[in-house]
């Protein structure tokens, strides 16, 4: 069965960086892409961006363009999301979700369990 397993909770200080991992199993990793979506406490869902596990193409939401980098390691079927220059309003649960291989225009069929990132001094 398809599974996306994310890394554990992180506590970071303002200005630091965080890297969240998302290990995929149960399907051919390079046949899909990975999206990252975040959810601030008691808030809705915010799409951050997409990376193709097929060819490494990315599409980032403009709001995160300057601070986010998404990568994949096809040898371990793992996707990574790094967010830099963290602020208190980056405190959220970060989800990875499986999407399309060739475009960010895809529904999100499978989701990771979420990673809580807390930014606090």
Of the candidate residues 20, 104, 117, 119, the single one contacting other proteins (CB under 8 A): 104
Q: Is 120 in the site for other proteins (CB under 8 A)?
A: no
Residue whose C-alpha is closest to residue 85's, from 12, 9, 8: 12
Of the candidate residues 62, 75, 89, 121, the single one contacting other proteins (CB under 8 A): 62
Q: Is 57 in the site for other proteins (CB under 8 A)?
A: no
d(CA 65, CA 118): 21
Q: Is 35 in the site for other proteins (CB under 8 A)?
A: yes
Of the candidate residues 13, 75, 107, 121, the single one contacting other proteins (CB under 8 A): 107
Q: Shortest gap between Cβ of 15 and other proteins (angstroms)?
A: 26
Q: Do residues 105 and 57 lie in contact, with contact meaning Cβ atoms separated by under 8 Å?
A: no
Rounded to the nearest 10 degrees, how much is the dihedral formed by the CA atoms of 56, 51, 81, 49? Answer: 150
The pairing of beta strand 68-73 with beta strand 58-60: unpaired
Instruction: Give me the residues that bind other proteins (CB under 8 A), please.
Output: 35, 37, 44-47, 59, 61-62, 95, 97, 99, 104-114
């Amino acid at each position: 069965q398809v599974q996306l397993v994310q890394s554990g909770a992180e506590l970071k200080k303002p200005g630091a960086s965080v890297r969240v991992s998302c290990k995929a199993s149960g399907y051919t990793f390079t046949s899909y892409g990975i999206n990252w979506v975040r959810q601030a406490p008691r808030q809705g869902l915010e799409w951050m961006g997409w990376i193709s596990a097929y060819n490494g193409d990315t599409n980032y939401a403009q709001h995160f363009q300057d601070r986010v980098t998404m990568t994949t390691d096809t040898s371990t079927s793992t996707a990574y999301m790094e967010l830099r220059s963290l602020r208190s309003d980056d405190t959220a649960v970060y989800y990875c979700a499986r999407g399309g291989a060739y475009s960010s225009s895809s529904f999100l069929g499978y989701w990771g369990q979420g990673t809580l990132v807390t930014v606090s001094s």
